[in-house]
Amino acid sequence: MGKKGIETMVGVFVLLGLVGLVFLALKAANLGTFNAGSTYSLVARFDNIGGLKRQAPVRTAGVTVGRVVKIELDKKSYQGLVHMEVDSRVEFPKDSSARILTAGLLGDQYIGVEPGADDKNLAAGDVITQTQSAVVLESLISQFLFNKAADAGAGEAGGAKK
């Protein structure tokens, strides 16, 4: 193989590497999976949104059906308002619920929508009223440590009475 052949192979290899980097960048930014043409908007209220971000997926049964487009604070109720765009081919019953879930133990957070059983469907601009806030790992750890410290303190106090 001549010098030109080796240079061509190196060029192809570099080009494939760049395509791979673009693919990884799209996956890391959550932009590579959801390409719906027509969407409708839904809003959900959460007491704590944890680390949820814009462009986070909206999933049902593990399938991405939408994206989070905006997160804001309701100044009256001090709840997080999460605005979502959902594929118009997917309709959820009015009594559906939304939860903030985590992909894996320490992965990114996303909205999980559980369909209800109502005959009427959510329309554009409707608010999902049944929600479950994010589970914050730091809060769980601090509760666990506090409970263990309280149990240890109660055990020592009980032992001193004997």
Secondary structure (DSSP) of the chain: --HHHHHHHHHHHHHHHHHHHHHHHHHHTT-SS---SSEEEEEEEES--TT--TT-EEEETTEEEEEEEEEEE-TTT--EEEEEEEETT---BTT-EEEEEESSSS--EEEEEE----SSBP-TT-EE-EEEPPPPHHHHHHHHHHHHHHHHHHHHHHHHH-
pLDDT at 97: 93
Same domain, 12 and 89: no
Same domain, 91 and 12: no
Is 110 within a domain?
yes
Domain span at 71:
36-143
Same domain, 3 and 62: no
Average of per-residue pLDDT values in the chain? 85
Q: Flag whether the pTM goes above 0.85.
A: no
Is it the case that residue 107 has pLDDT exceeding 80?
Answer: no
Same domain, 88 and 116: yes
Same domain, 67 and 79: yes
Query: What's the total number of domains in the chain?
Result: 2
Same domain, 4 and 19: yes
Is 152 within a domain?
no
Please tell me the least confidently modeled range out of 52-66, 83-97, 100-114: 100-114
Same domain, 127 and 73: yes
pLDDT at 57: 92
Same domain, 1 and 64: no
Same domain, 24 and 90: no
